[in-house]
Amino acid sequence: MQRLNKQSLSLLPASIAHNLSSLSAEIGIVHLGPGAFHRAHQAVYTDNAMEFGGNWGICAVSMRSTGVRDELAEQDNIYTLAVIDENPSYQVITAIKEVLVLGEQRQQVMFRMTAATTHIISLTVTEKGYCLDGQGLLDSSNSDVQHDLANPDEPRSAIALLAAALKIRWQQGIGQLTIISCDNLADNGAKLGKAIVAFAAQTEPNLAAWISDNVCFPNTMVDSITPASNDELRARVAQAIHLQDNWPIQREAFTQWVIEDHFSGPRPAWDRVGVTFTQDVSAYEKAKLRLLNGSHSTLAYLGLRCGKETVNEAISHPSLGKFIKNMLQQEVKISFKAPDELVVDDYIDAILKRYNNQHIRHLLSQIAWDGSQKLPFRLLASIQDNLAQGNSIALMSVGVAGWLHFLVNAAKTNFKIVDPLADKLISEAAYCSGNVAADVQRFLTIRQVFPESLANNQDFVQALTDGYLALSELGSANIEHIIDGLV
């Protein structure tokens, strides 16, 4: 079968959407972290927006891996988006013009980031890529940060790389650049901006001042479940588009992008293709981080504890489904003030419907990655707010307890977890003896996850201990009995 590329686009069936206007666009965006989510989300919005004009082609930069570059190069960086639902659909995306790998093509990366025609740099580097401490500030003890301070000409963190590019733009008088975080991080743009300014201040105070005065870092909220690609997807896409695509991506039908209306220069016509611009992202952000992401992580850890493999399998279990719904209704939704435009109960129903999408195979093990970076924003922030208001935290604490059991099980089975604090977490988990109170206290000393104010809060300690004890009984007792007993 012929490979998908520029030459074969004319062979696509008439039913397969593709935007010819984006095919000839010049590069105007540099994106750090071209994983599946970016290619299923921001790249698709940008591809669609170029129907309304503008040179917003994307230069995608991989911080380390060569996989995306090497696979997409054979396809002229063109790929297929499969929207998986009751009625699946397919769209061929041509917005990405090149993929560079920082470790091998540093000079080309810096050229793109500092070009006067580049007006947006965006990021999906996951929470850990921001090198932040428990307070959301630049962690100067982070190994990548220390390396980059000692080697400013060869940065390996996104923070230092951006600071290096901004230094060149500052020296050459090249402005009109907006840097957009698209990661699941509360106040993501504000935190990113502060981290870059803090890094720059340690090497060039005048650069830090210029960044503060000239570069905007809008907060954003992004949402769409994007499972990993597999051979089944490749076969399904080939059948649909009549071409061989070795690197397609898939996502659910639901997709959302909310951006603070705070830019330093021009932007694509994203608002004409479904992006919401607002003066305050925080309310949308909290709704998504707490309701969707918080329940997602909880379902992952409890589902794995109960022997489930995917989101659909876990939410379809009556007891787990009941637990998640009750946690959302009884605890999470009262932890924050939702935006006026959002009907929270409808949003919760939509979340549960998305989890029940049997056509999406979203692995719980994938969602369980990077718990030390995710849980402070997805669960612990809600717990802290509920404690301050005197509201219940019992069910959310079970979600946190599920993560602790995940770590203990990994230590016992020598399972390699994906987490920037993996060594620390597994080391602590390995010392857990089964003494519930002592085990919980051991984890609570990890300040990168649990701030002192929360670790010393007796209501939280008791709730976490109760949840940990209840989950300790799984395996010897009936799952339904244990989970139902928690709600």
Residues 453-480: tens digit of each pLDDT: 999 999 999 999 999 999 987 654 556 6
| pLDDT score for 135 | 84
| pLDDT score for 487 | 67
Predicted TM-score (pTM) of this structure: 0.79
CA distance 404 to 417: 12
DSSP conformational letter for 470: H
Give, in degrees to the nearest 5, the angle at Cα 355 between 42 and 83.
40
From the list 179, 264, 275, the residue with the least C-alpha distance to 221 is 275
CB 210 within 8 A of CB 177: no
Domain 9-278 shares a fold with domain 282-486: no
SS3 label, residue 240: helix
CB 281 within 8 A of CB 259: yes
> Do the bridges between strand 178-181 and strand 120-123 make them parallel or antiparallel, or are there none, so unpaired?
parallel
CA distance 197 to 388: 32
Residues 68-97: tens digit of each pLDDT: 999 899 999 999 999 998 889 999 999 999
| pLDDT score for 341 | 81
List the beta bridge partners of residue 30. 59, 121
CATH of 9-278, one of 3.10.620.30, 3.40.50.720, 3.30.2350.10, 3.30.70.20: 3.40.50.720
CB 420 within 8 A of CB 143: no
From the list 437, 308, 428, 287, the residue with the least C-alpha distance to 371 is 428
DSSP state letters, 148-191: HHH-TTS--SHHHHHHHHHHHHHHHT----EEEE-SS-TTHHHH
| pLDDT score for 475 | 54
Which regions of the chain are under pLDDT 70? 474-482, 487
Secondary structure percentages of the chain, helix, strand, coil, to 5: 50, 15, 35
CA distance 80 to 8: 13
> Do the bridges between strand 17-18 and strand 120-123 make them parallel or antiparallel, or are there none, so unpaired?
unpaired
In this structure, whether the domain defined by 282-486 belongs to CATH 1.20.140.10 is answered with: no
**So where are the chain's domains?**
9-278, 282-486
CB 405 within 8 A of CB 465: no
DSSP conformational letter for 228: P
Contacts of 203 (CB under 8 A, 6+ apart): 149, 152, 163
SS3 label, residue 257: strand
| pLDDT score for 479 | 61
